[in-house]
C-alpha cells in the first residue's frame, strides 16, 4: 500500500483466492477487494497463458524448491513471444463486445482456439 496507495484487488472467488489467510492479510494491510462474479468471463489478457505457463514450468516435473519454481516461472515469462501478448490484448475487444451482446450473461464460452498457445 505504500508504493501503490488506493490499490483495489479484483478476485473471482476461485478457490485459489478464497483461502482465509489471504483475506486476513488483505484486512491487515487495508487492501480493498472488488469481488467478481463466479463463472464470469475472464476479460484478462493474460488469462489464456496460465495453462501454457503451468505446462511450461512442469515439463521436467514440478519444481523441487521455491527457488527453482521462481526460476522456471521467470524463464517461461521471458520465453513468451511479445506478438502473443499483443494478440491477447487485441482479443479483449472481441470478448467485451460478445459479453455486451449477451447482456452480461454467463453464456459466453471462452477458450476458443485463437486464444490458446500451440
Name the band, by pLDDT with cuts 50, 70 and 90, for residue 39: low
Which residues make beta-bridge pairs with 61?
59
Quick one: CA dihedral 28, 29, 30, 31, positive or negative?
negative
Which residues make beta-bridge pairs with 11?
35
Judge contact between 95 and 110, C-beta under 8 A: yes
Task: Take residue 22 and report the three cell numbers written for it.
Answer: 489471504
Please report the pLDDT score of residue 29 as a whole number: 85
Query: Is 0.85 surpassed by the pTM of this model?
Result: no
Name the band, by pLDDT with cuts 50, 70 and 90, for residue 106: low
Amino acid at each position: 500500500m505504500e508504493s501503490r496507495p488506493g490499490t483495489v484487488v479484483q478476485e473471482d472467488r476461485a478457490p485459489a483466492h478464497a483461502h482465509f489467510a489471504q483475506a486476513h492479510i488483505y484486512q491487515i494491510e487495508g487492501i480493498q477487494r472488488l469481488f467478481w462474479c463466479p463463472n464470469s468471463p475472464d476479460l484478462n489478457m493474460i488469462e489464456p497463458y496460465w495453462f501454457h505457463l503451468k505446462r511450461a514450468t512442469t515439463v521436467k516435473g514440478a519444481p523441487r524448491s521455491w527457488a527453482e519454481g521462481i526460476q522456471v516461472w521467470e524463464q517461461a515469462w521471458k520465453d513468451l513471444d511479445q506478438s502473443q501478448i499483443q494478440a491477447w490484448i487485441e482479443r479483449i475487444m472481441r470478448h467485451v463486445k460478445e459479453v455486451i451482446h449477451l447482456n452480461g450473461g454467463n453464456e459466453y464460452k471462452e477458450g476458443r482456439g485463437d486464444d490458446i498457445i500451440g
